Each structure stands twice: as C-alpha cells, then as structure tokens.
C-alpha cells in the first residue's frame, strides 16, 4: 500500500475543509440567507484573530440571571454603549464554550452571526424584563475592544449563567467581569423584595426566582403568649433598627432565630408579620426541596443586606445524624450560618415542628441560633383572642365565643380558623345568616371521632 506524504495529507485536509465550508454556504443559500461568519466580525472588532485570545470566564449564581443582565447592560452603557449581535447554531451552543464555538465557526462556518436570543423574566410580583439569553456584546472599555458573550444558561455549568470575555488586554477583561459582579449587587432586582427560590433536579437551567407580594399581618393579629412576640421582634426587627448603634459598640448583627412548637400554632403567621414589618429588607423564603438552595440564598442575602432568610420546617433537613448518617443539606445550613461576617445585617429565621430532632449544633452552638422561642398551643385567653380575630364582622355573641374557647382546649390556631369557616359554610348551605348555633355545631362536628384525621392535619395532637 502506497504511503501518503505529509504534503498530500495537508492538501487533502485543506480540500476537505473547503468542501465543508462550501456545503455550509450552500445550505445557508438554500435557506434564503447567507449569514455573516462570526470569526471575521470579531477579528475586525478586536483587531486580532479571536481564536488566539484567552477567554476569561465567570460562572454566576443560577438564581441571579436577571441581575446578570442588568449588570452587563450597565457595564456596556458606562463604557459608552456598544453593539449586540447574536450567534446562530441552535442548541449546540449551550454545550460549547466560546473558544469551542470560535474553532467550529472558523473551520466550518457552523456558528454564523444571527439574531439575539431573549428571555423574559420576572423582576417583581407584577413586572418583567426582557433579558439576553444568548448574545455577544461588542464594546470598548478603557480604550480597549471587548467582546462579551452572555448566555442565560450553560449546561456545562449546571445551568448557571456564564459570561465569557475576549479582549487583547487581559487586565481589562478581568476588570470587566469585576465590574459586572459589582453592578449585580448595586443594581439587583432582588434587593428589597420578597422571593422564593425554586430548582429542578432534572434541569438545573430551569431554576428560578418567584416574586411574592410582601404580606401585611398587623401586630394585633399575632396571638402569642405575653412577651413572646416582643422577644422575637427585638431580635429580628430591633437589631436592624439599631444596627448603627450596635456596630459602634462592637456588637455583631447576624443572628439566628428559631421558632418551634406544634404545627398550626402560628409560626408561619408570625414569620409573615415579621416580613411585613421589614419594608425594604430583602427576604428569601425557603421550604421543602428549596432548602437545598441555602448556599445561594445565603450568598444573595449577604450581598443584598439587610436581609432575612426564612427556613421553614428546617427539621426536615437538620435531623439528628445518629440514626441515618449525614444530611448534606444540614451542613450547608451550618456553613451558611457560620460563613457570614459578624457585622452582616442578615437574619436566619427558622421554624420547626420538632425541636427535639434538630441537630444540636444547629440549635445550641453559639453563632448559629441566638434565640429559640416556643410557639405553644394557645391557652384559654389565647383561644378567645383567636376566635374574636377570625370572627371579625360575623354576628357571633360574646357568650358564643367564650363557649367556643372553652370547648376547644388543646386545639390549634388552625383549628379555630377552620371552625369559623365551617360555621359560615353550615349556615350558607341552609341559605341563612351564620349564628351562634352554627359555631357550636361546627366545633362539635370537628371534635367528633370521624374527624380525627382532620384534627391531625390542623396540628391537633392525639
């Protein structure tokens, strides 16, 4: 078999490359448009072959995609503006780095200049912003040309937004990314808002932020034993109110507050009051599977302080390790509590139905939880206040409310609320105004043996 000389091999590869480029151009022509190649465009802007430049990459928090878009737009605007172009090539782009895209674009014309991809994302409960999902920003920073690729998600980076910068001056490239990080915090769409984080275990690119209207729960609507709410407010709201005096005295601001007690006693209701009483504070609510996002929540809270991170039902991820090995999420919670600077105005507000199973390190060690407050079953006076609260505007007599409070010993606030609603429903089914008899009938019905499971669901033990 004849040997192939290096010259013959080089000629073959050159012809093969030309064939591929011709095929790509023909396909574009058949589709009705000949798109501009990407590499020459970047070479003209940067003044050199972009494939010879180092790519500076920044992987940013997946749940701050809107902040990334706001920050990039601000950096480009501060630099005097620029040009935004798209990159064709379909879904393959999501699995390739910028350097790989340029190599394929140079050899085969696979990634031509195309339209910019956009994605509309929420910036508040009722507002949205059109963000760049995949686009190249061409601008000049400090007199040096810069190309910045912005993408909404990159599957190679667990769905996180990624910025990739090409620039003849590596110091300028690094400075551009530093400016973006600064502007993300300075102009964040999350600052002062109430949000929940969500994530998909199957598609990390679908992790997102859900904006929530700040609740309004008046102080008088929180029914707790005397002095309990005052202690919690002092730790959560008082520290924030007097942050300057505390800092001047060398005292720490970060704090952890644990609300514990049976389900249905008002822990979440108390949290809603605290959130509503903290206007301008960034609040991040985590519960269920979202508790696994504690790391990014703590990082965001630190950047956007003053802030509150609410961890509901934390016993689900912070149980004793003696029975079932370690709990990875528990360690993330502990790291988040420990990792904050002492002067960070950040509150970790935890709730649990079972303080007895909490990891001792979470509940007792200094620097994690500063205040643990029991939210118990309401006593006689508390139940009377609850019946009066939930019966506002309804024609129940004082004697009926007193009798209802006496008949519901050991019941929860959730039970009281449901009893009032069921009384109204009983009257509505008979097309008449609700009265004292309906309230008594509702309580008898709910206290019967047939509603044992209902009582359990409302937090009533036994």
Over residues 157-171, the pLDDT tens digits come to 566 789 999 999 999
Looking at the predicted structure, is the pLDDT value of residue 44 above 80? yes
Structure-model confidence comparison of residues 451 and 445, the more confident one: 445
How many CB atoms are closer than 10 A to CB 332?
A: 19
Mean pLDDT in residue range 229-255: 92
| Residue 288 CA from chain centroid, whole number | 13
How far is it, in rounded angstroms, from Cα 159 to Cα 59? 10
Architecture (CATH level 2) of domain 380-457 = Orthogonal Bundle (1.10)
Residue that is written with structure tokens 């030309």 in the block = 18
Spatial contact of 55 and 199, defined as CB atoms under 8 Å apart: no
| The two three-digit tokens of residue 183, written as one number | 């502007």
ω into residue 306 within 30 of 0, thus cis? Answer: yes
The residue length of the chain stands at 462
Q: Residue 311: which of 337, 344, 349 has the closest Cα?
A: 349
How far is it, in rounded angstroms, from Cα 337 to Cα 318? 13
Beta bridge partners of 286: 311
Number of H helices, E strands in the chain: 18, 14
| Domain 210-374 is found in CATH 3.40.50.300 | yes
Three-class DSSP category at 427: helix
Q: Where are the domains of the chain?
A: 33-186, 210-374, 380-457
Looking at the predicted structure, is the pLDDT value of residue 138 above 70? yes
DSSP secondary structure string for all residues of 285-346: EE-GGGGGGHHHHHHHHHHT-SEEEEETTGGGTSB-HHHH---HHHHHHHHHHHHS-TT--E
pTM: 0.81
| The two three-digit tokens of residue 112, written as one number | 């031509």
pLDDT of residue 204: 47
How far is it, in rounded angstroms, from Cα 226 to Cα 155? 53
Spatial contact of 309 and 270, defined as CB atoms under 8 Å apart: no
Spatial contact of 256 and 370, defined as CB atoms under 8 Å apart: yes
Looking at the predicted structure, is the pLDDT value of residue 181 above 80? yes
pLDDT of residue 32: 44
Mean pLDDT in residue range 112-129: 91
3-state secondary structure the chain: CCCCCHHHHHHHHHHHHHHHHHHHHHHHHHCCCCCCCHHHHHHHHHCCCHHHCCEEEEECCHHHHHHHHHHHHHHHHHCCCEEEEEECCHHHHHHCCHHHHHHHHHHHCCCCEECCEEEEEECCCCCEEEEEEEEEEEEEECCEEEEEEEEEEEHHHCCEEEEEEECCCHHHHHHHHHHHHHHHHHCCCCCCCEEEEECCCCCHHHCEEEEECCCCCCHHHCCCCCCHHHHHHHHHHHHHHCHHHHHHCCCCCCEEEEEECCCCCCHHHHHHHHHHCCCCCEEEEECHHHHHHHHHHHHHHHHCCCEEEEECCHHHCCECHHHHCCCHHHHHHHHHHHHCCCCCCEEEEEEECCHHHECHHHHHCCCCCCEEEECCCCCHHHHHHHHHHHCCCCCCCHHHHHHHHHHCCCCCHHHHHHHHHHHHHHHHHCCCCCCHHHHHHHHHHHHCHHHHHHHHHCCCCC
Looking at the predicted structure, is the pLDDT value of residue 219 above 80? yes
Summarize pLDDT for 329-342 with one digit per residue, the tens: 666 777 777 777 88
Summarize pLDDT for 48-86 with one digit per residue, the tens: 999 999 999 999 988 888 999 999 999 999 999 999 999
**pLDDT-based confidence at residue 92 (cuts at 50, 70, 90):** confident
pLDDT of residue 21: 64
Please state, rounded to an integer, the average pLDDT across all residues of the chain.
85
């Amino acid at each position: 078999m004849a040997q192939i000389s290096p010259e013959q091999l080089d000629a073959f590869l050159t012809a093969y490359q030309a064939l591929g480029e011709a095929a790509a151009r023909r396909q574009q022509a058949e589709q009705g448009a000949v798109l501009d190649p990407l590499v020459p465009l970047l070479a003209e802007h940067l003044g050199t072959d972009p494939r010879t430049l180092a790519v500076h990459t920044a992987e940013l928090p997946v749940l701050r995609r809107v902040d990334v878009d706001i920050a990039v737009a601000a950096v480009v605007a501060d630099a005097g503006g620029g040009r935004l172009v798209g990159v064709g090539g379909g879904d393959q782009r999501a699995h390739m780095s910028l350097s790989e895209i340029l190599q394929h674009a140079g050899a085969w014309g696979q990634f031509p200049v195309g339209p910019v991809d956009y994605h509309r994302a929420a910036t508040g409960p009722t507002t949205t912003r059109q963000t760049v999902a995949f686009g190249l920003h061409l601008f000049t920073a400090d007199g040096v040309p810069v190309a910045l690729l912005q993408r909404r998600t990159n599957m190679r980076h667990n769905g996180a937004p990624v910025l990739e910068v090409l620039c003849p001056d590596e110091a300028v490239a690094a400075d551009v990314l530093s400016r973006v990080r600064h502007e993300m915090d300075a102009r964040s769409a999350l600052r002062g808002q109430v949000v929940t984080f969500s994530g998909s275990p199957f598609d990390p690119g679908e992790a997102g932020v859900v904006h929530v209207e700040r609740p309004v729960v008046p102080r008088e609507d929180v029914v707790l034993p005397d002095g309990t709410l005052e202690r919690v407010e002092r730790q959560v709201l008082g520290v924030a109110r007097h942050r300057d005096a505390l800092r001047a005295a060398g005292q720490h601001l970060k704090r952890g507050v644990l609300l514990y007690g049976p389900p249905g006693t008002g822990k979440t209701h108390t949290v809603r009051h605290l959130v509503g009483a903290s206007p301008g504070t960034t609040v991040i609510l985590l519960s269920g599977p979202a508790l696994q996002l504690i790391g990014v929540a703590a990082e965001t809270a630190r950047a956007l302080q003053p802030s509150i991170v609410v961890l509901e039902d934390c016993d689900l991820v912070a149980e004793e390790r003696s029975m079932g090995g370690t709990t990875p999420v528990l360690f993330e919670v502990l790291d988040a509590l420990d990792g904050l600077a002492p002067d960070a105005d950040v509150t970790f507000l935890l709730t649990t139905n079972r303080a007895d199973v909490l990891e001792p390190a979470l509940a007792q060690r200094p620097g994690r939880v500063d205040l643990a407050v029991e939210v118990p079953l309401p006593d006689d006076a508390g139940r009377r206040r609850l019946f009066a609260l939930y019966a506002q505007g309804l024609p129940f007599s004082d004697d009926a409310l007193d009798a209802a409070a006496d008949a519901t010993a050991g019941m929860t606030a959730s039970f009281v609320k449901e009893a009032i609603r069921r009384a109204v429903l009983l009257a509505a089914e008979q097309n008449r105004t609700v009265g004292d008899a309906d309230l008594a009938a509702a309580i008898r019905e709910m206290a019967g043996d047939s509603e044992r499971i209902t009582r359990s669901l409302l937090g009533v033990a036994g």
